């Protein structure tokens, strides 16, 4: 018997394959330079993304298009169809990543208890989202996240990533474009304080 996480991952993978298979029957030309550098960057890091046709960080799921995908050809098709009107979401769980948020609403300094832990946050791939900073990490192969809820930690969800543009302010009067602090930064493994026991092979 498989657990619910394995079942949902299998369903998502089936949908991604169907999405890529559909592309094989289109006549859309492939242009290796047709997507923004920020999207190219996250794809090269193994990210699975999908468009969101809304500027809000809290848009409903109905604003999403397709299923999270790491196939550049599919992303090129999306960008060709929606252009700059689309924002993009990173599916953290499907990408085997987590994001740690630092903001006026979340300051998870307790995650960095050991000497040198905070330097890991400063060195890994990070991006700015108005008053928030998100640091991205990978979950090492053979490990899984520890169970529980942690302030400022995102892992079983999707988050907007660069070059998305979100509206802010009481009347949505401000627009901010997400951007990477250092596009050349590596994507580092998650801090050990967040990881559970190693996964045992069946």
Tell me whether residue 200 is in a domain.
Answer: no
Total domains present in the chain: 1
What distance in Å separates the CA atoms of residue 94 and residue 9, rounded to the nearest whole number? Answer: 7
Pairwise CA distance, residues 188 & 100, whole Å: 12
| CA gap 196, 53 in Å, rounded | 36
What are the mean pLDDT values of the chain's consecutive 10-residue runs (202 residues total)?
47 52 50 81 97 91 95 94 94 94 75 72 93 92 72 88 88 87 95 68 44
Specify the pLDDT at position 174: 84
Within the chain, strands assigned E span 49-52, 87-91, 97-102, 126-129, 132-138, 153-154, 158-161, 165-168, 174-177, 179-180, 188-189
DSSP 199: P
Residue 183 belongs to what domain range?
Answer: 4-194
- Within a domain: 16: yes
Give pLDDT, residue 147. Answer: 61
**Could you tell me the pTM of the whole model?**
0.80
Residue 199 domain-assigned (yes or no): no
201 in a domain, yes or no? no
Q: What pLDDT is recorded for position 201?
A: 46
Cα 121 to Cα 124: distance, rounded to the nearest angstrom: 6
pLDDT at 32: 53
Instruction: State the virtual CA torsion across 77, 78, 82, 88 in degrees, nearest 10.
Output: -150
Burial label for 4, CB within 10 Å (0-12, 13-18, 19+), is: exposed
Specify the pLDDT at position 34.
84
Position 122 scores a pLDDT of 87
């Amino acid at each position: 018997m498989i657990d619910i996480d394995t079942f949902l991952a299998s369903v998502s993978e089936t949908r991604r394959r169907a999405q890529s298979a559909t592309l094989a029957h289109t006549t859309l030309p492939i242009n290796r330079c047709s997507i923004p550098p920020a999207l190219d960057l996250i794809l090269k890091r193994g990210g699975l993304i999908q468009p969101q046709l809304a500027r809000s960080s809290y848009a409903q799921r109905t604003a999403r298009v397709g299923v999270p995908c790491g196939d550049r050809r599919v992303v090129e098709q999306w960008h060709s169809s929606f252009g700059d009107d689309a924002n993009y979401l990173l599916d953290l769980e499907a990408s085997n990543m987590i994001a740690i948020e630092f903001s006026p609403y979340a300051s998870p300094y307790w995650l960095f208890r050991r000497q040198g832990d905070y330097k890991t946050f400063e060195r890994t791939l990070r991006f700015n989202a108005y008053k928030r900073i998100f640091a991205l990490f990978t979950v090492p192969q053979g490990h899984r996240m520890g169970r529980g809820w942690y302030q400022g930690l995102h892992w079983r969800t999707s988050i907007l990533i660069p070059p998305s543009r979100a509206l802010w302010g009481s009347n949505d009067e401000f627009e901010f474009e997400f951007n990477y602090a250092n596009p050349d930064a590596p994507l580092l493994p998650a801090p050990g304080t967040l990881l559970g026991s190693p996964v045992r092979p069946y």
